Amino acid sequence: MVADGKGTRKGPEQVLPYVRTVGNRDNDWLIDREAQKTDTFTGIDGINAQDVAIQESMGAIVNRTKDNLSRSDMVIVVARRMLLQAARTVADGGDPPAVGTSYYRLRPIEKVVPNGTFGREALLPEMHPE
């Protein structure tokens, strides 16, 4: 079990059969109401356990087709398109993106490039050095 003194509670003993965690919806994610009053806002021991509680308690999947996204939401648009394409690739029997490849050497770059220059071409050598 990994522990950092802050109750991360991450380890195989926290996972039940069928990928269920010890703290789950059936036992209210082991919320300690006293700890909630005096120690932590959630009363759930460990960041991972808190994440599980949030993910499991979110409710039904929301239909996002009616979202009104603006220019500032472009990252969301691109991420959704990439996920949909990956799902189509897998459904068609292919491998999802990045299987068998590594992006550990990839790094973000922020620069102003000259007019008329395609940013990816200008920055790729620095983003992914050989």
User: Is residue 1, in this structure, part of any structural domain at all?
Assistant: no
Which is higher by pLDDT, 127 or 114?
114
82 and 109 within one domain: yes
Q: 35-73, pLDDT tens digit by residue? A: 999 988 899 988 888 988 988 888 777 788 888 888 888
Q: Is the pLDDT of residue 107 over 60?
A: yes
Average pLDDT over residues 118-128: 81
User: Is residue 40, in this structure, part of any structural domain at all?
Assistant: yes
Closest CA to 10 of 39, 52, 57: 52
- Domains in the chain, number: 2
78 and 51 within one domain: no
Q: Domain range for residue 31?
A: 12-57
115 and 84 within one domain: yes
User: Is residue 65, in this structure, part of any structural domain at all?
Assistant: no
Give the pLDDT confidence score for residue 31 in this predicted structure. Answer: 93
User: Is residue 48, in this structure, part of any structural domain at all?
Assistant: yes
**Tokens encoding 110:** 């922020």
